[in-house]
Amino acid sequence: MLWLVSGDRRVSSQMVASVDTTDYDQRIRPNSNGPPVDVFLNLYIESMGTIKESTMSSTNTQDFTMTMFFREFWQDPRLKSNDTTSKSVVNFKGDRMSSIWTPDVFFLYEKASTFHDVTVDNRMIRLYPNGTVLMSSRISVTLSCNMDLYKFPMDKQECQVIMMSYAYNSDEMTLNITDSSLEIDKDLMIPKFSLDEFKTAITHIAYGATGDYSVAKVTFYFSRHLQSYILTVYIPSSLIVAIAWLSFWIDAKAAPARVSLGITTVLTITTMTAGVQETMPLVTYAKAIDVWLAVCLLFVFFSLLEYAGANYLIIIENKRRLKNYTKKLGNGINEKIDHLGIFECHYNLGSVRRPGYREPLTADKLDRLFRFTFPLAFVIFNVVYWPFYLR
């Protein structure tokens, strides 16, 4: 005798009386000697947790957590009511759920999962007069999600939920799911991501000697929120590059101001890079944000290097002036010699000028050159960077 438990005792007794439970064995699947039992899956996604890049390992996988109502429908002819006019529905709870055969569906690539049990176990089975069985469970599951962070933080990711039977191959049980079988809470919020769309699919996986297994797959397509990274990384680093550019407008002879400004910008970019890397997994390729911070570091480093060149030119200029001034004092002359119109010699502080003579590069000229080429180079980098990673 199969004992059925319901909140309504009268309904339960009527149901028991109308169901032929002779030779029923909950260990044997429906249609054990016939076609495979069709199990229809229905998922109601209640919430999705943070997708953690920090848990990503060398296998390029990270944690993907969600809480859902996991529902399974199947037909068990052995539980069909003999009373065709009956519309009674029986609910099974707690230990009584083991009285009926249930599918052994599990989540592939699952890292952790729990059944919710507050204030009671959030599980139940519902039996309909026509032999249809519904099993519903509220669970939280953490799955592996293969991710490519090459375009981080402008990346789009795909995370899959793969369900299959553990013991029954496709000759014994088949799983079915459609897009309409998946429902998502309208108020669903995902930290750092937005859910663009989802797709369902039915496929098979072969496991050698045990055969092919029916697989139900749900693929979620996510887009990362870029706004927070623009506010916390891209804009601050751009401002630091702009501060480095302002150093070219400071007199090269003001060594303390130029040196302190250059070192401060370099250290700031370095600290920002270290802060970003702390929250990111170690991968063998450069991410988009790594490229940005590396180029910003190069810009502020070259601003400091430019001052080293400007300071060297100041030293050379001072030595040249000192040498020319010494010559003037030694010769005591200021004359002009014109020999066949080929060249002219001017002793103006001892300098010599010939046709085609060019003024030597000075620190002031170098600063003026970088005042225009430095921002132009940064703009060109932005023109290349953003279309390349956003396309």
pLDDT of 37: 94
The pLDDT assigned to 238 comes to: 95
Write out pLDDT tens, residues 220-270: 999 999 998 999 999 999 999 999 999 999 888 888 888 889 899 999 999
Q: Which two tokens stand for residue 40?
A: 């229809």
Which of 6-15, 78-87, 273-282, 285-294 has the largest mean confidence? Answer: 285-294
- The proportion of the chain whose per-residue pLDDT surpasses 90, expressed as a percent, equals 46
Interhelix angle 235-246/363-390, rounded to 10 degrees, is 170
CA proximity to 244, closest of 269, 220, 223: 269
Could you tell me which CATH class the domain 228-390 is placed in? mainly alpha
Q: What CATH number has the domain spanning 9-225?
A: 2.70.170.10
Cis peptide before 119 (omega within 30 of 0): yes
Q: What is the mean pLDDT of residues 348-353?
A: 47
**Residue 182 CA, distance from chain mean position:** 23
Across the chain, the runs of DSSP E, i.e. the strands, are 37-48, 61-75, 90-92, 105-108, 110-115, 123-127, 132-146, 156-165, 173-176, 182-184, 193-206, 212-224, 336-339, 343-346
- What's the confidence (pLDDT) of residue 55? 56
pLDDT tens for 155-210 read: 998 999 999 999 999 999 999 999 999 999 888 888 888 999 999 999 999 988 88
Exposure letters 337-354 (e unless 16+ CB within 10 A, then b): eeeeeeeeeebeebeeee
In this predicted structure, the answer to whether residue 154 has a pLDDT above a threshold of 70 is yes
pLDDT at 8 over 60: no
State whether residue 382 is helix, strand or coil: helix
- The number of helices, as runs of H, and strands, as runs of E, in the chain is 6, 14
- The answer to whether residues 71 and 123 touch, using CB atoms and an 8 Å cutoff, is no
**In the predicted model, is pLDDT for residue 293 greater than 70?**
yes
Q: Is the model's pTM score more than 0.85?
A: no
The closest alpha carbon to 158, from 234, 241, 64, 79, belongs to 64
Residue 134's pLDDT band (cuts 50, 70, 90):
very high
Per-residue pLDDT tens digits for 139-153 = 999 998 888 889 999
The residue with greater pLDDT, 352 or 268, is 268
Helices 235-246 & 288-331 angle (0-180, nearest 10): 0
What average pLDDT does the chain have?
83
Q: Which long-range contacts (CB under 8 A, 24 or more apart) does 255-258 make?
A: 255/311, 258/307, 258/310
pLDDT band at 74 (very low <50, low <70, confident <90, very high): very high
**CA-to-CA dists, residue 367 to 59, 202, 316, angstroms:** 49, 65, 16
CB 64 within 8 Å of CB 58 = no
Q: Domain coordinates of the chain in residue numbers?
A: 9-225, 228-390
Is residue 330 very low, low, confident or very high in pLDDT (cuts 50, 70, 90)?
low
